[in-house]
Amino acid sequence: MPQPFSFDLLATDSASSARVGVMHTAHGDVQTPVFMPVGTQATVKAMSPADLEVCGCSIILANTYHLHLRPGSDLVRDAGGLHRFERWNHPILTDSGGFQVFSLKDISKASDEGVQFQSHIDGSRHFFSPESVMEIQHNLGADIIMAFDECPPSNAPADKVKKAVDRTLGWARRCVEAHARTPLQHGYGQALFPVVQGGTVLELREACARELTSLDLPGYAVGGCAVGESNEVMYSVVEHTAKHLPQGKPRYLMGVGMPQDIIECIARGIDMFDCVLPTRDGRTGTAYTWAGKVQIRNACHRRDFDTPLDPACTCYCCANFGRAYLRHLYVAGEILGMHMLTLHNIHFFMDLVRQAGQRIGDGTFGAWKREVLAKLGPVKKRDSAEAAE
Identify whether 13 is a catalytic site residue: no
283 near Zn ion (CB under 5 A): no
- Residue 155 or 307 having the CB closest to Zn ion: 307
The DSSP secondary-structure symbol of 68 reads H
CA within 13 Å, CB half, 348: 33
- Residue 146 or 313 having the CB closest to Zn ion: 313
The 3-state DSSP class for residue 234 equals helix
> Which of 43, 228, 198, 75 has the alpha carbon at shortest distance from 140?
75
- Residue 268 or 344 having the CB closest to Zn ion: 344
Identify whether 274 is a catalytic site residue: yes
Catalytic residue, chosen from 13, 51, 95, 271, is 95
Among 134, 147, 256, 318, the residue binding Zn ion under the rule CB under 5 A is 318
Site string for Zn ion, 338-377 (x = CB under 5 A): ------x---------------------------------
- Listed ranges 17-25, 141-149, 178-186, 310-318: which one lies at the site for Zn ion (CB under 5 A): 310-318
The distance of closest approach from Cβ of residue 318 to Zn ion in the complex, given in angstroms and rounded to an integer, is: 3
The interface with Zn ion within residues 124-143 (CB under 5 A) comprises none
The DSSP annotation for 342-374 comes to HHHHHHHHHHHHHHHHHHHHTT-HHHHHHHHHH
Residues in a beta bridge with 253: 222, 273
In the chain the beta strands, taken as DSSP E runs, fall at 6-12, 19-25, 28-32, 34-37, 60-62, 92-94, 108-110, 115-118, 125-128, 144-146, 191-193, 195-196, 220-222, 251-253, 272-275, 286-289, 292-295
- Residue 211 or 304 having the CB closest to Zn ion: 304
Query: What are the two backbone dihedrals, phi and then psi, of residue 32, each rounded to the nearest 5 degrees?
Result: -120, 150
The distance of closest approach from Cβ of residue 344 to Zn ion in the complex, given in angstroms and rounded to an integer, is: 4
- Using CB under 5 A as the binding criterion, the count of chain residues that bind Zn ion stands at 5
- Residue 54 or 202 having the CB closest to Zn ion: 54
Chain residues binding Zn ion by CB under 5 A are 313, 315, 317-318, 344
- Just list the catalytic residues: 95, 274
